[in-house]
């Protein structure tokens, strides 16, 4: 059972930073079987359904170390923010023409 420690990115429908500041510990599934009748993926392991939330990365790592859980840490990719001003749309030195 390997745990994955990561900080989730915000969803496409999200403009704020809610639920993206916490670190998650998520257990990876060990084995999966394909059900012969319906073709669905089945597993007897319920650990992948558990997600633990921690305020910092260090707390999540120390939890896994205390309990002897092997883990891998995925660093978050921060989006590059671009400062844009509404008044730049009407600037005299505007690169593109502003017409309708």
20-56 pLDDT, tens digit each: 889 999 998 887 888 888 888 888 888 888 999 999 9
pLDDT of residue 10: 82
Would residue 39 count as lying in a domain? Answer: yes
pLDDT in the model for residue 97: 66
81 domain residue, yes or no: no
C-alpha span between 58 and 48 (Å, rounded): 21
pLDDT value of position 74? 94
pLDDT per residue as tens digits for the range 65-88: 999 999 999 998 877 777 878 887
Q: Tokens representing 59?
A: 């707390």
Q: If you average pLDDT over residues 93-98, what whole number do you get?
A: 71
Give the torsion through C-alpha atoms of 20, 73, 26, 52, to 10 deg: -60
- What is the reported pLDDT for 99? 64
Q: What CATH number should be reported for the domain holding residue 53?
A: 3.30.160.190
Give alpha helix (H) positions in the chain. Answer: 57-66
Q: Is residue 16 over pLDDT 70? A: yes
**pLDDT score, position 88:** 79
> What is the domain range of residue 31?
3-9+20-76
Residue 93 placed within a domain: no
Task: Count the domains in the chain.
Answer: 1
Tell me how far apart the terminal alpha carbons of the chain are, to the nearest angstrom: 59
């Amino acid at each position: 059972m390997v745990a994955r420690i990561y900080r989730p990115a915000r969803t496409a429908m999200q403009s704020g930073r809610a639920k993206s500041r916490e670190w998650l510990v998520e257990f990876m599934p060990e084995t999966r079987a394909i059900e012969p009748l319906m073709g669905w993926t089945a597993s007897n392991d319920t650990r992948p359904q558990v997600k633990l939330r921690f305020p910092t990365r260090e707390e999540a790592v120390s939890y896994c170390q205390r309990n002897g859980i092997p883990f891998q840490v995925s660093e978050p990719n921060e989006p590059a923010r671009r400062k844009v001003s509404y008044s730049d749309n009407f600037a005299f030195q505007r690169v593109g023409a502003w017409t309708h």
